[in-house]
Structures are given as structure tokens and as C-alpha cells.
Amino acid sequence: MEEWKSPETLVLWITIIAGLLTVLLVFIVLLVRIIIKKIVKTKIAEAKAKLEHQQDLIKSSITTQEKERKRIASDLHDDLIGKLTVIKLQQEVSNSTDTASINLINECIKTARRISHDLSPPLLEYTPLPDLIYEIFEPWKTKLSINPFFDIRQNEDSHSSEFKIQLIRIIQEVITNIDKHANASEINVHYRQSNQSTILTIKDNGIGYNSANQKKGLGLKNIESRVHYLKGSYRMQSEINKGTSSIFLFKHQ
């Protein structure tokens, strides 16, 4: 009994208990860390799966839209324009004096061709992107003062047809938004293409808006979806009565 109460024995037991507690604490810490890692890993996997699912939905939606655009463009070009051309020839062959109708038919053919071109640009694969961008803005020059600036630092056009068509859709959406909401009279376009990246800036002199209170409408959501589809980034800046700037950045792989 006296030996059990000796200081040496008490210190030994305290050391043993402290050692066991330390081992237990380390075990608990390691176990908690393992559990947390598994939870984090699971959350990351879930987030990745969700992101991949969203990307698949975006890709499927965009692919479906483009197929439908091509179908409509083909119908316009092969069917409607063909029939309008036949009517025009019939009028001309019959020596019709109704020049107003012939002129109207000509305008309808031009409009149908323009719409068909916008829906599915011809020779997309072989046309440089700057030329395609210039063509997009050309019809709008009757309504807006458009000032394009192209800074090409890459000799070859390395953009895929998919990239070209998606950037075209983004630009068309931006112009449509400007026409609908900005009340602008001028648009400045800055396009820069290098081996590392493609940067596009579109700035208008419209009424602007409060960025903090801006809600994403269908147009902005379409733009966002296409930018994400191209794995790019974008930023829109606007101030009341100071216009709006849309900046798009796409880094080359």
C-alpha cells in the first residue's frame, strides 16, 4: 500500500494516463480529419458532377438552338427566297408595270437573305472572325454610328467554327440589347486577337443603368451561357447616362 502511494508510482501512472489520453486525442483528431476530408471530397465530387451536368445542359441547349437556326436558314434560303425569286421573274417576264410590287419583292428577298445569313453565316469555316464581326455590324450602320477597331496580332485564323458561331451569337445579343434598351447613337468596338487570347469590347453611349440593381434577363442569360460554353469570362460595366461596356475574354488553350 505504501509502495502504491509513493511519488514515483503516482508519476508513473499519471504519465501512463497522460500518454493514453494523448494517443486517444491524436486518434480522435486524425479520425475527425479523415471524416472531414471525406465530406469535403464528397462535396467537391457533387459540385463537379453538378457543374458537368450544367455544362452538358448548356451544350445540349446551344447545340439544339444552332441546329434549329440552320434548319430555318435553309428553309428561308431554299424555299422562301426561291419562291420570291420565281414571282419576281414572272412579273418581269410579263412586262408588268407594277414596279412597286417588284421593288417590294426585291426588298423581301434582301431581308430574307439577311435573316438567313444571320441565322447561319455561309462559309463560316473559311471566313476570318474579324470579317464575320464586321458583317454583323454592317446592317446596323443605318441606325447607329459604329466605330470598329481590329488589333490582329496573329497571322493565322485559329478559331474553330464553333467558337466563331458562338461569338457571333454573343455579339448579336449585345447589339439587340443596345437597340432595345440603351437608346444609344454610337457603338465603339475593339477586337484584339493574339496567340494567347481573344478580347472583345463593345461600348455604347446610351442611357446606361445601375449595375447593382440590374437583373439578368433572357438576353444576359444567353450571353452568360455562351461565354461559359466557350470557357471564357466577361464583365459588364454601366453607369447612368454614361453608357455600357461589355468586355469578353477568351484564353486560347
List the pLDDT tens digit at each of the 253 positions of the chain.
455 566 777 777 788 888 888 888 988 999 899 989 888 888 888 787 777 777 777 777 777 777 777 777 777 767 777 777 777 777 777 776 677 777 887 888 777 777 777 777 777 777 888 888 988 898 888 889 999 999 988 766 678 888 998 999 999 999 988 988 889 999 999 999 988 899 999 999 999 887 766 666 667 888 888 898 888 999 998 888 889 999 999 988 6
By three-state DSSP, how is residue 218 classified?
Answer: helix
Shared domain for 139 and 63, answered yes or no, is: no
Q: What is the pTM of this model?
A: 0.67
- Secondary element (H or E) of residue 247: strand 244-251
Shared domain for 75 and 130, answered yes or no, is: no
Shared domain for 116 and 139, answered yes or no, is: no
Shared domain for 3 and 94, answered yes or no, is: yes
d(CA 106, CA 114): 12
d(CA 100, CA 104): 6
Last residue of a domain, one of 120, 140, 167: 120
Closest CA to 129 of 154, 159, 99, 173: 159
Shared domain for 127 and 230, answered yes or no, is: yes
Shared domain for 116 and 128, answered yes or no, is: no
d(CA 114, CA 117): 5
Last residue of a domain, one of 86, 120, 154: 120
Shared domain for 72 and 164, answered yes or no, is: no
Shared domain for 47 and 61, answered yes or no, is: yes
Domain that holds residue 198: 123-253
Q: Cα torsion for 171, 135, 120, 89, to the nearest 10°?
A: 140
Last residue of a domain, one of 120, 145, 172: 120
Shared domain for 95 and 146, answered yes or no, is: no
* Number of domains making up the chain: 2
d(CA 212, CA 226): 23
SS3 content of the chain, % helix, strand, coil (to 5): 65, 15, 20
